[in-house]
A and B are shown apart, each in its own frame.
Chain A
Amino acid sequence: MSIFMQLIVSGISVGMIYGVIAFGYQLTFATSKTLNFGQGEALMIGALVGLTTINVLIGQSLGTFTAYCLMLPVVLAFGALQGTVVEWLGVRQAIKTKSEAGWIMATIALGIIFKNVAENVWGRDALKFPSPLAEASLSFWGIRIQPMEIAIVIGALGMMLAVEFFNRRTIQGKAVVATASDRDAAGLMGINTSRVITFSYALSSMTAAFAGVLVAPVTLTGATMGAVLGLKAFAVAIIGGLSSGLGVVVGGLILGITETMTGFYVSTGYKDVPGLVLLLLVLSLRPSGLFGKTTIKKV
C-alpha cells in the first residue's frame, strides 16, 4: 500500500509540473486560439535567468531561501517580457492576416532561437540550481517526499488560482474572459483585444518561467530542459482540453500518475506509452479534451 501511495505522490509532483506548463498553453489559446510552441523554451530560459539571478544574490551573502524569494519577481518580469516579445514577433502578424499556420512556424522558430541563445550564454551543460528548501525528504506514514516537491504542488496551484482570481474579479481579467468567449464581440464592446492577446502571452510565459524556477531545484537547469517538458505538457493540454484551466491540471495529474504507475507495475521501458495511448484515445473519442467545451467552427 505504501508503495502505491509513494507512486501516487511522485506522480502528482511530476504531473503538477506538466499541468502548470500546459496551463500556459491554455492561457493564450483561450484568448487568441493560438499557442506558443516555444513554451518549453520559455520555461528553460526563465529557469536559467533565475539561476543567474539567484547566484548573484547568493554572492551578496544572502541565504538561499531569501535569494530565491528575491529572484522570483525578476524571473516573473523576465517571463512577461519574453512572452510579449514572442507575441509581437511571432503571433501578432499571423492573427492580423488570419494566417492558419504562420504562428505555428513562428513560435517554433522563436523557441529554437531562445534555445540557441541559452546555449551560447549558459553553455550546454546541465547546471545545478540551489534549492531554497532542505533537500532531505520528509516521511509521512512511510511515504517519502521532498520539501521542494510539496512547494511545486503548492506553487503551481497557487499560481493557477491567482490567475483565475484575476480573470474573475478584476476589470482587466474580465476583458480577458470576454475576449476568450468572443473576440469580435469583445472588440465591439470597446475592449482592445490585441492588447489582451499580448497580455495573455506575457502571462503565459510568466507562468512558464515560474514553472521553470519551481522545478529547477528538483531537476537540473540547462538549455535542453524545456524540450521534453514542453512536449509532455502539450500532450497534457490535449488530454485535458485546451479551453479548460481545470482540465489541464487534471490532465497533468493523469499523465504524471500513469507514468509512474506504468513504470512500476508494467516496465520502466514502457513508461511513456500509456500517456500517449491516452492522448490518441482522447483525440479520437473527445477531440476537445476530457474537460474541453466542444466548439463548432463556422466557416
Chain B
Amino acid sequence: MKIKLLATVAAVVMSGTAFAADPIKLGLTGPFTGGSSSMGVSMRDGVKLAVEEINKAGGVLGRKIVLVERDDEAKNELGVQIAQELVNKENVVASLGFINTGVALASQRFFQEAEIPVMNNVATGSVISKQFSPPDHKANYIFRTSANDIIQSGMIAEEAIKRQGFKKPAILADSTNYGQLGRTDLTAALAKFNVTPVVAEKFNIGDTDMTAQLLRAKEAGADVILTYAIGPELAQIANGMAKLGWKVPMIGSWTLSMASFIDTAGPNGDGAMMPQTFIQVPSTAKRKAFIEAYQKAYNVDRIPSPVSAAQGYDSVYLLAAAIKQAGGTDGRKIREALENLNEKVEGVVTVYDKPFSATDHEAITDNIPVFGLVKGGRVVPAHPEDLEGDKVVRVKKKS
C-alpha cells in the first residue's frame, strides 16, 4: 500500500516536472580520446559552455537543454552505432559535433533519414554538407559551421603564392582520406594561380622519418612546404627540416594549430601558418567574454583547440535560435528555421546573419577565416592588420 502510494506520488511529481519544462535533448559526438581528442574535447567544452549560458538564462522556449555526450573515438563504425543510438533510443532533437570527415560521412545519414538536423562544427571534408543536397534528396539536414577544405586550400594557395610570392611549393600530405583529398584540393587551388607543385609527397600515420620526403622537396628547389596532415606527423616534418638544416616556411591546413604539433615541434614549429576561424585573442567583447569564460570553466590558459571550441560554441547558439524560431522541436521545422534564420546571432567566430539557405548549408565563407601563426607555443594572428577596424568581425558574403 505504502509502496503504491509512493509510486503514485513519484509519478505525479515526474509528470509534473515534465509538464513544466520537458528538456530539449541534443546529441554531442566527437573523439574525446585518441589522436584528434584535442579538437573533440575543445569542441565539447565550447558546446557545454554555450548550453550552460543558455540554461542559466532560462533555456529555449522555457525548456532546458540537456546534452547526450558520446565518444566516437574517431572511428567510423563507432560513429554509426552512436548515430543510431541517438536517433532511436535517445530521440535527440538535433545533434552537434563530428571532428573527423570519415565519421561524419558514415554517420550522418541516420540523422538525415530521421529528419534530425546535424550541426557539423569541426569536420572540414568538402563533401560533408553536400552529401544529401537537393534535388537528389528532398531536403538536406546537414549544416556546417567550420571552414571546409576547398576554402582552406584556396586560402593556403593564395597566401603562399599571391601574398608571399612563393613560386615553387612542395605538398606534403599524409596517406589518409583527409591528407589525400586535401592534396587534390590544394593542387586544384594552386592551378588557379598557374602554379604546379614541384613535388607532392606522401607519408603514413606513425611515420617518424621524413628524410626522403624532405630531401625530395629540397632537391626540387621548393621554397615553401604546404601541408595536409595531422599534428604528430606535421611535427616530424618540422623537426626533420631542422635536422637537415633546411628551413622553408610551412603553410598548411588548420591542423597546424593542433596542440600536438605545437608541443612536439617546439621551436622548430615557429612560423607555421594555417587558416583559422578563431584565434585566442580578445579582439571583440564577445570573444573576450568567451575566452575568459572558457578559461574559468576549464581552468586552462591556452585553449587546446580554439577553433573547435569557438565553432562548437557558436553552433549551439545557432541551433537554439532556430529552435526558438521553429517554436518547437520538430526536426523539419528546425531545418526550415535554420535555412531562414530571422535572428542575427552574434557568435565568437562571426555575426551570423542568415547563415544558411535551402541550397547553402555552409556558415563560413572564404572571407571569414584569417591566417594564424605559431609563435612561442601559441597561435597568434599572422597578419594583425587582418583583424583591425571593421575587419575584426568578418561576415559571410551575400550570394
Contact = CB atoms under 8 A, between A and B. Distances in A.
Contacts of B34: 124-125
Residue in A7, A13, A215, A263 whose Cβ sees the most chain B Cβ within 10 Å: A263
Contacts of B239: 135
B245 A10 contact: no
Interface string A103-139: 0000000000000000100011110100000011101
**Residue from B38, B206, B213, B219 whose CB has the most chain A CB atoms within 10 Å:** B206
B245 A139 contact: yes
A94 to B, nearest CB: 31
Contacts of A136: 242
A6 interface: yes
B270 to A, nearest CB: 14
B201 interface: yes
B181 to A, nearest CB: 16
Interface in A246-299: 259-264, 268-269, 271-272
B35 to A, nearest CB: 7
A227 B175 CA distance: 17
A260 B209 contact: yes
B263 interface: yes
For chain A, the bracket of interface size reads 35 or more
Interface stretch (A31-39, A178-186, A218-226): A218-226
A127 to B, nearest CB: 9
B184 to A, nearest CB: 14
A227 B207 CA distance: 12
B350 interface: no
A268 B217 CA distance: 11
Nearest to B239: A135
Contacts of B244: 6, 137, 144
A135 B243 CA distance: 8
A10 B202 CA distance: 18
Contacts of B204: 228, 272
Contact of B212 (A125, A146, A264): A264
A6 B263 CA distance: 27
A3 B206 contact: no
B245 A144 contact: yes
Interface on chain B toward A: helix, strand, loop, or mixed SS? helix
Given A123-B33, A126-B232, A220-B232, A137 B211 contact: no
B264 A128 contact: yes
A218 B208 contact: yes
A144 B201 contact: no
Contacts of A156: none
A119 B260 CA distance: 17
Nearest to B212: A263
Contact of A271 (B35, B212, B243): B212
A279 B63 CA distance: 65
A206 interface: no
B37 A125 contact: yes
B145 to A, nearest CB: 25
A14 interface: yes
B216 interface: yes
Of the candidates A7, A123, A128, the one having the most CB atoms from chain B within 10 angstroms of its own CB is: A128
B213 A268 contact: yes
B317 interface: no
B35 A126 contact: yes
Given A125-B260, A268-B201, A3 B35 contact: no
Contacts of A144: 243-245
Contact of B202 (A126, A145, A261, A268): A268
A260 B211 CA distance: 7
**Shortest 4 CB-CB distances between A and B: which pairs?**
A263-B212, A10-B211, A219-B208, A124-B34
30 contacts: A3-B219, A7-B211, A7-B212, A10-B211, A10-B212, A13-B209, A14-B208, A124-B34, A124-B35, A125-B34, A125-B38, A126-B231, A135-B266, A144-B244, A218-B208, A220-B235, A225-B206, A228-B204, A228-B206, A259-B212, A260-B211, A261-B212, A262-B212, A263-B211, A263-B212, A264-B211, A264-B215, A268-B212, A269-B175, A271-B212
Interface of B: 33-35, 37-38, 175, 201-204, 206, 208-209, 211-213, 215-216, 219, 231-232, 235, 239, 242-245, 260, 263-264, 266
